[in-house]
Structure formats: structure tokens, C-alpha cells
Structure 1
């Protein structure tokens, strides 16, 4: 089931079938839920696109010059925004269905039926579930394109869609079980991540964007070898490896 990418199966997958997610701790503050993240994306992505159009940020983010840990954070964060923007383009806020438990079975089935494409420019068809699938593919295509530009080792992003499809099949099995809806609500209340389509996408987009940021950091370290700046950047490597979200690097810049 895990194919050639065992490291890519998210830890939360174990929580889908009865086990608690590995990183869930009773006294840990609950992370924002899927709807809260989507609301944040709906605000941030249009601003980011405007900033990119006006030249206020490097675009694509994978080409940004990295000088410190905060630049690494920005590349990771902005690359993920670039991938998620396709879903935010869905009309009438249809992206909210990604986190709607009652629509998951329909959405997962539609995704598995949809023929993958290689485009980063798409035309929506007006069929909501098909359009969601088209937007997901476009996001993966964008990340693969950025990975090539950033010099990510091919084995770290090749086969991504095949891996994602396996996750969708697992999620489909989970939603077909009796009591999936109440179990989903319970997991969300406990700060866990049920196999909502949103979390499937968010997990893979986050991982790929992080690989792109890491490749940019490694490239910069190579260019700055034996300098004081290189030492500071090297110190950012373990922090990036341990980070689960771009904001985990906030405030750790070394100027």
C-alpha cells in the first residue's frame, strides 16, 4: 500500500483507523481546524497574488534569495499559498466543501474518476467535484514545477500523485465505515486530523513546499560556504527539519 514512498504517508493516517495521532498531547493547544485554515487562506491568497503582481514579493517563491531562516519560512509559506490558490479560485467558495464531512465520499469518488492533467493553468467546467479535482492536480503540478526549479532531488517529489491517490483510496475506505461522520467530528474536537480531503491536500502540499524551501536553503549554503553567513544558515537546517509549519521558523532569523 505504501509503495516506494513510505516516508510520505502522514502520521495522522494511523489515527484514521482507531489509533490516536502520534503528536496529539492532551495539554497541547489545539491547532486551528480545517475551516479556520481555509478562512485564513481565503484572506491571504488574494493579498499574496496582488503583492506578486506588484513585485512586492519574489514570484515564484522558489526563486527567492535566501539570506536567513525567515526567508526559508517565506519560501515554504508562499510556495504552499501558490499551490492552494487554484482551490481558492473555485466559484462561490466551493473550496469549503474540502472540509465538509457530508461531502467527502462524493468528493473522493470524483477525484478518483478524474483524469490527471499536467497543466498549471486550468479552465473550470462548472461541475463542482470535477473542478475540485482539477484544482488539486494543478496545485501538485505547480509544486512539481517549483521543485525542479529549486533543485529538489527527484526522488523526493516523483510519484507524488500516485502516492496521493493511494491516500484518497484509504480515505474512501475510512468514510465507508459505519460511524465515520461522528468519528470525524470527535477527532476534530480533539485537535486530530480525520481524512478530510482538505487535510490530504494540506499535508502533501506542506511537505512538498518544505522540500522546495530546504533545497533553496541548501543551495544558498553551498554558495556561501566558509563564510559567517553560511554558519548562520547551517544553523537553520535542523530547525527546518523539525518544523511542521512555516510559522515554526518565525522569529528565528539570523541576520
Structure 2
């Protein structure tokens, strides 16, 4: 019910299955390197509807979790495909001030087709913005409420400014290492990208399946159950309880994997 798992076939391996870890930035980058060629081949050969945001429940991998994960992949392809990649710019503590300065010097653009210069510190900012532009494009296609995407670029720049201030504080490098060891998230450029793309892709996936308002879709489903199961109180109660649980779980989810894993019992 409510379509986060429904699919005509087993979908592509998740980030977790590909890399074994969902936390460490280099593991995530390795997973992206593995998944992107596979995903793009699936779409190029017509086995998956592309872009993911245009899928319906009747399509292969037409469910919230898959659309969420695949939309994020589509945005990530830009920085993964930067030529002469220097991933240390995205994940190394000592290079974060340089990377963030370069990003803030980058003039905003609205392109989703970009030309790279072959200089990673120049190309990464272009790629990051192109990924945000792609998500804006998908949000429009999926019918996301405009207020949820009206300041995508400005909000990300604000996050980078705050991160830049964090790295300027004495001891930021050792503090970052300690946070990573404790599975906490320091403001590495990679994490800023990953978290922003993940959050925005979730809104797109929800809109693709349920429309611009999850609450409105939930209320419509509740009314449908009350109308069709009104004479069967036990079945009605079970359906309403399941609807509440599914909706709450979707709202709590911070990553597509949260919809794959069984929730721990209290």
C-alpha cells in the first residue's frame, strides 16, 4: 500500500549493497562510480523510465524509494563525471577551505548540460550547481510545490558559507576526524552535496507518486478507506493504522535506505 516498494522487478542494487557502507564519503563515492554506469545503461536501453521523476506506479521501479534513490543518482552524475577528478577536494579536511572558496566564486548558472574545463577545482562547482539545476528541473516535472524548491541554489550557497566559517575555526581538521570516527557528519563539501541532493530528491519522489502534498494524498486515501470499508470495522481499522504507519515512516525517512530496512521494534 502507498507505493514505496511496489515495482515490476527487483530494482538496481542500493548504495548500501554496492559499497557496504553508507557513511564514509569515499565508500559512497566508490558506490556512485559503480552504480552510475549501470543506471545510465538501464535508462539508455529503455529498461527504466528516465528521468526517474516521470515514472508512475505502473512503471518498473515506479515507487518512492527507487525514484528517490535514482533521482539522487541523476543529480550526482555531474560531479562523478568531472574529468581528471580530484576527490580529495570533496572529502579532505585540509582542502575544504579551497573547495568552498572556489564554489562561492562560481557564478550561478541554470544549465543542466555543462562543459568542463579539465580543472577539478573549477569543474566541481559547475557540476554541483548543475546537479541542483537538474533537481529543480525534476521538481517541476514531478509537480513539487514551488515553495519547496524556490531557493535551491541560494540555500546551498548559504550552507557552504556556514561550512566555510566552521572550517575557519582553529582545530577544525582534528575535530572533523573525531566526528568521522564517531560516525558524525562534519561539513565536508561531499556531505553538503549528498545531504542536499538527498533531501531534494525525496520531495521529488513523493510528488511523483502522491502529488504535491503527501498530507492531502493521505487524507484522500483515508476517506477512500472509510467509504469502501465502512461496513467492515476491523478491516477499516487495520487499513487506517497501516496508512498512518506508512505515512509516518515516509516522513521520518532521511535516506531511501530507510524505506528498505525494517524498522526496529520498540
Q: Aligning the two structures, in what range does the TM-score lie when normalised by the shorter sequence?
A: 0.7 to 0.9
* 1:90 shift after superposition: 1.1
The farther-off stretch of 155-164 and 92-101 is: 92-101
* 2:58 maps to 1:50: no
* 2:177 maps to 1:185: yes
Q: Would the aligned equivalents of 1:147 and 1:157 in 2 still touch at CA under 8 Å?
A: yes
Distance 1:140 1:185 in 2: 28
Residue matched to 1:63: 54
Deviations 1:124-168 (A, max 9, x none): 012211100000000000000000110100110111111111111
Q: Would the aligned equivalents of 2:53 and 2:71 in 1 still touch at CA under 8 Å?
A: yes
Q: Would the aligned equivalents of 1:87 and 1:95 in 2 still touch at CA under 8 Å?
A: no
Distance 2:120 2:261 in 1: 40
Residue matched to 2:151: 159
Distance 1:71 1:241 in 2: 15
Please show how residues 79-228 of structure 1 align to structure 2 within 5 Å.
79-219=71-211, 226=224
Distance 2:88 2:255 in 1: 21
> Which ranges of structure 1 fall in alignment gaps of 5 or more residues?
1-29
* 1:63 shift after superposition: 0.6
Pair 63,233 (structure 1): closer, same or farther in 2 beyond 3 Å: farther
Deviations 1:59-115 (A, max 9, x none): 000011136997110000000000000011012333453111121110000000010
Q: Which has the larger radius of gyration?
A: 2
| Aligned residue pairs, count | 221
Structure 1 length normalisation: TM-score? 0.79
> Which ranges of structure 2 fall in alignment gaps of 5 or more residues?
1-20, 229-238
Q: Would the aligned equivalents of 1:98 and 1:196 in 2 still touch at CA under 8 Å?
A: yes
* 1:176 shift after superposition: 1.0
Deviations 1:36-65 (A, max 9, x none): 111111111111111110111110000111
Structure 2 length normalisation: TM-score? 0.76
* 1:33 shift after superposition: 1.0
User: Which fold has the larger relative contact order, with Cα–Cα distance below 8 Å and residues 6 or more apart in sequence?
Assistant: 1
Q: Would the aligned equivalents of 2:88 and 2:95 in 1 still touch at CA under 8 Å?
A: no
Pair 233,43 (structure 1): closer, same or farther in 2 beyond 3 Å: farther
* 1:237 shift after superposition: 2.7
Distance 2:157 2:203 in 1: 20
Deviating above 3 A after TM superposition, structure 1's stretches of 4 or more consecutive aligned residues are 67-70, 224-228, 230-236
Residue matched to 2:233: none
Distance 1:75 1:173 in 2: 34
